Structure 1
Amino acid sequence: MTEQLTEKRSVVVEREFAAPVERLWRALTQPHLIEEWLMKNDFKPTVGHRFNLRGEWGGVLDCEVLTIEPQKTLAYTWNFSHEDAAFDLKSIVTFTLTPMGAGTHLRVEQAGFSPTQKQAFGGAHAGWKQFFNKLDELLARAG
């Protein structure tokens, strides 16, 4: 029984973008571009750098860069503390980029949801799809 309580779930969202891997990488690692599709931030592409993502809803995510493989992989913590501890979230977001012809396949995995965090899990699934829509718009504008 205890194993089921400690089992963690992941949200995975994948999409192909009609942009070369270099452009997509810039959108994932440059603060002014991250702000356009994700959230306001003080991101730096340096392992160990601690930064915040500030949502339009007023929430703040505490993050730390864990992995950087230029134009391949980016991972950072995605931690949210709530006044109600049941809503606290400690997760890791990993972006994996794979060149595909003239475009790029992007996979995001957010790992660390407990089975009791159904609302956060569902919200993350919907949220990443919306973020990817905004990212697609940004890449289309950046031409």
Structure 2
Amino acid sequence: MTDPTTTIHVDQFLAHPPAKVWRVLTEPDLIARWLMPNDFAPVVGHRFTMRTQPRPGQGFDGWVHGEVREVDPPRRLRWAWRGGGLDTEVSWTLVPEGRGTRLFLEHSGFDPGDPLQQRTARLLDGGWRSHVWARLADALATCGPSV
């Protein structure tokens, strides 16, 4: 049996400057390339939605409801992530490193006593670490130079 997960931590180096990584994390059309279609705006208090495939077995209807909680360009971004019984938070921290950026993801707020949330946390942990990072890297490679 594994220990309960309350927070997912991911640390990844990206060979792009923080300004470019920030663009991919905050521009709706670029977010759609690596995460989900959305109506995101990097404005504290902005409520947004993201849409993906429903997962009825996880109690997820395909909608993520978010609210921007912190915007500190190009260093920190934090938003609420609600959907499928979750009321969690996603934080991104960008740290310049050489000619690139060290990107830290923290997805927190999973209930350690809720089996459905624990199963969802394990699925999201795998997703954040694998295909989301690969799609994020592809978006960075194809989005053009930072402004």
Q: TM-score, normalised by structure 2?
A: 0.84
Matches within 5 A, 1:91-130: 91-115=88-112, 116=114, 117-129=117-129, 130=131
More displaced stretch, 32-41 vs 116-125 = 116-125
Aligned equivalents of 1:56, 1:15: Cα separation in 2:
26
Q: What is the aligned-residue RMSD (CA, Å)?
A: 1.5
Matches within 5 A, 1:40-119: 40-57=37-54, 59-81=62-84, 88-115=85-112, 116=114, 117-119=117-119
Aligned equivalents of 2:80, 2:8: Cα separation in 1:
14
The match for 1:19 is 16
Contact kept in structure 1, 2:8 and 2:108, CA below 8 Å: yes
- Residue 61 of structure 1, CA deviation: 0.5
- Residue 126 of structure 1, CA deviation: 0.9
Aligned equivalents of 1:56, 1:24: Cα separation in 2:
26
CA deviation digits over 1:30-84, x for unaligned, max 9?
0000000010000011000000011134600010000000000000000004xxx
Higher strand share: 1
Aligned equivalents of 2:136, 2:70: Cα separation in 1:
21
More displaced stretch, 89-98 vs 130-139 = 130-139
Within the candidate set 34, 38, 50, 2:35 is matched to 38
Q: TM-score, normalised by structure 1?
A: 0.86
Aligned equivalents of 1:52, 1:94: Cα separation in 2:
17
The match for 2:136 is 135
- Residue 8 of structure 1, CA deviation: 7.2
Aligned equivalents of 2:126, 2:30: Cα separation in 1:
21
Contact kept in structure 1, 2:27 and 2:41, CA below 8 Å: yes
More displaced stretch, 63-72 vs 109-118 = 109-118
Contact kept in structure 1, 2:5 and 2:121, CA below 8 Å: no
Displacement over 3 Å in runs of 4+:
none
Q: What one-letter code is carried by the residue in structure 2 that aligns with 1:77?
A: A
Q: How many residues align?
A: 131
